Structure 1
Amino acid sequence: MKSSAVLLTIGQLARRAGVATSALRFYEAEGLIAATRSAGGHRQYPRHVLRRVAFIRAAQVVGLTLPQIRAALATLPDGRTPNKADWTRLSAQWTPLLDERIAALQQLRERLTGCIGCGCLSLKACALYNPADVKREEGPGPRLLKLHPNSP
């Protein structure tokens, strides 16, 4: 049997990829990875799925959402595993996202330092939670702090 034909169980893939089996089932349900089934109905993964899982995890660390990761993987021909050239092309597209996050975190750090100095945390006047009292335009009630433009 050639190494490319070696199939891994879900447990083997989880150990080698450093993720939980539940994460692999979730990735499969989301269409990010695919498994075949043994005669007994157990999931079996080709070895190349290891690289695909590594790609998914790296993209998540960058901050991509699963729909963004799915879209990136969909650009690959025939659903193949990303190679070095693919990673270079796709990761270059993520640079603006990282730049936005870095800028947002730097701005948060600057505001947080000022906030620690005043200690107010007033929802009406706090520069961290409600800069320039912009939340009053959204009506009464609590509002979420957004660390970056893509946060919920």
Structure 2
Amino acid sequence: MAEEYSRMTLTVGEVAKRSGVAVSTLHFYEAKGLIEGWRSDGNQRRYHRAILRRVAIIRVAQRAGIPLAAIREALAGLPLDHAPTAEDWRRFTAAWTGMLEERITSLTQLRDQLSLCIGCGCLSLTDCPLRNPDDTLAADGPGPRCLSPGGDRKKRP
């Protein structure tokens, strides 16, 4: 029984080594409600082996730019001793697709417009007087108005 318990649970160091994240990162994930462990009778932090897949999903989602709150929400319905399945992963990615599409659109636009006037008000580039004469975009709000999320990048004064 003790051998099976040892095989099905991992220490924080074992999880860190196997998942490739620092112990401090695991503590951070736990503080944010993304993972959960418990204390053994010897006061050692333990995790169910299924935590490895949860940590992998967290890392992949973070790399894709998914906010921690969205990751936590996706994982919230899964029991701790349940490794997320392929069906769980499909459900997560379906929920995240819209966020990813918005991010891709925003990054593509940023890439395509970086060498142009971005409506920041500096008026130093050759095309600034054409795209933002006399800094009229300042009336729309602060910052680079031509690259602001939700802003109409085609609309020019």
Q: Same fold (TM over 0.5)?
A: yes
Q: Which has the larger radius of gyration?
A: 2
Equivalent in the alignment of 1:123: 121
Question: C-alpha separation between the residues in 1 aligned to 2:5 and 2:86?
Answer: 20
Which residues of structure 2 form unaligned runs of 5+? Answer: 151-157
How do 1:2-151 residues align onto structure 2 when only pairs under 5 Å count? 2=4, 5-76=7-78, 78-79=79-80, 80-114=82-116, 123-125=121-123, 133-138=136-141, 143=143
Aligned residue pairs total 139
Question: C-alpha separation between the residues in 2 aligned to 1:66 and 1:39?
Answer: 31
Which residues of structure 1 form unaligned runs of 5+? Answer: none
Structure 2 counterpart SS, 1:113: coil
- Contact 2:119 2:144 survives alignment (8 Å): no
Question: C-alpha separation between the residues in 2 aligned to 1:83 and 1:123?
Answer: 50
Question: C-alpha separation between the residues in 1 aligned to 2:37 and 2:105?
Answer: 40
* Closer, same or farther: CA 99–122 of 1 in aligned 2, 3 Å: closer
Structure 2 counterpart SS, 1:114: coil
- Contact 1:105 1:147 survives alignment (8 Å): no
